[in-house]
């Protein structure tokens, strides 16, 4: 009894089908209107049966998630590249972060589709979804944390803060505004960023609270703007 062949014909066929299904899905989700986006249509283009699509990806949202997962690499690369050392404080950092996320999101899919993605990520019928999404979150937070550490190393932010904790907190704040951005057709990127800036000002994340012996200048007046 030999080992299971990791690269047998069967494995390659599966990988092929996976790829074909994703390619077909991308073609439909991007080009075609929402009318033609049926499991059936995807299956036909991919040259498999609709049941196979289900077996591979669970649900229609599952196919979508896989599509999103593919663009993760790109987002992560962009994030690492564009976020590097450009910020003076966590507030600044977060503004850049949200800006990149929004731009990236709309570059690949439109809001209507993103709503389904987010809904699927919380609804989690298939546990794979939640996990996939959470993994991306973790890596994104990792980038934030690195930058926070950089700020701390430069003396721009108090070293007592736990960078990891702050990274998650900041990420959540930003994510709330991203979801708001996605949830409504009326909210454009500039508005989302304005809302985030208000959050930052209200939480006093803009001017670094100096580690000791000094007092942050109060009275940063937030814009009059909120839902």
Partner DNA sequence: ACAAAAACCTTTAGTCCACAAAAATTTTTA
Partner DNA sequence: TAAAAATTTTTGTGGACTAAAGGTTTTTGT
User: What is the binding site for a copy of itself (CB under 8 A)?
Assistant: 115-116, 118-120, 122-124, 130, 134, 138, 158, 160-162, 164-166, 168-169, 172-173, 175-177, 179, 182-184, 195, 198-199, 201-205, 209, 211-216, 218-222, 226-227
Does 60 help bind DNA (rule: CB under 7 A)? yes
Site string for DNA, 127-146 (x = CB under 7 A): --------------------
Q: Whose Cβ is closer to a copy of itself: residue 19's or residue 204's?
A: 204
Task: Please tell me the distance from the alpha carbon of residue 216 to that of residue 205, in angstroms, as a whole number.
Answer: 11
Cα–Cα distances (Å) from 29 to 22, 25, 129, 142, 196, in that order, read 10, 6, 18, 30, 30
Q: Give the DSSP H or E segment for 178.
A: helix 163-183
**Smallest separation (angstroms) from a copy of itself to the CB of 46:** 26
123 binds DNA (CB under 7 A): no
Q: Nearer Cβ to a copy of itself, position 23 or 137?
A: 137
Least gap, CB of 121 to DNA (angstroms): 14
Exactly one of 20, 27, 45, 59 binds DNA (CB under 7 A); which one? Answer: 59
Instruction: State which residue, 17 or 139, has the beta carbon closest to DNA.
Output: 17
Contact window for DNA (CB under 7 A) among 31-39, 78-86, 181-189, 219-227: 31-39
Between 78 and 89, name the residue whose CB sits nearer to a copy of itself.
89
Residue 221 touching DNA (CB under 7 A): no
């Amino acid at each position: 009894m030999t080992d299971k062949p990791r690269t047998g014909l069967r494995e390659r066929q599966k990988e092929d089908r996976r790829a074909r299904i994703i390619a077909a899905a991308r073609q439909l989700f991007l080009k075609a209107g929402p009318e033609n986006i049926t499991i059936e249509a995807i299956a036909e283009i991919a040259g498999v049966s609709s049941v196979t699509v289900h077996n591979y990806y669970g649900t229609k949202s599952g196919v979508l998630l896989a599509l999103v997962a593919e663009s993760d690499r790109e987002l992560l690369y962009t994030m690492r590249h564009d976020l590097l050392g450009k910020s003076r404080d966590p507030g600044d950092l977060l503004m850049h972060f949200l800006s990149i996320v929004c731009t990236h999101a709309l570059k690949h899919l439109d809001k209507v589709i993103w709503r389904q993605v987010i809904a699927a990520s919380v609804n989690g019928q298939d546990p794979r979804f939640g996990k996939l999404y959470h993994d991306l979150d973790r890596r994104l937070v990792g980038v934030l944390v690195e930058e926070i550490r950089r700020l701390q190393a430069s003396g721009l932010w108090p070293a007592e803060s736990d960078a990891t904790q702050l990274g998650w907190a900041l990420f959540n704040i930003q994510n709330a505004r991203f979801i708001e951005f996605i949830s409504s057709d009326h909210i454009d990127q500039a508005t989302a960023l304005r809302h985030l800036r208000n959050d930052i000002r209200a939480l006093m994340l803009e001017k670094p609270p100096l580690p000791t012996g000094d007092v942050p200048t109060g009275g940063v007046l937030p814009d009059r703007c909120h839902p």
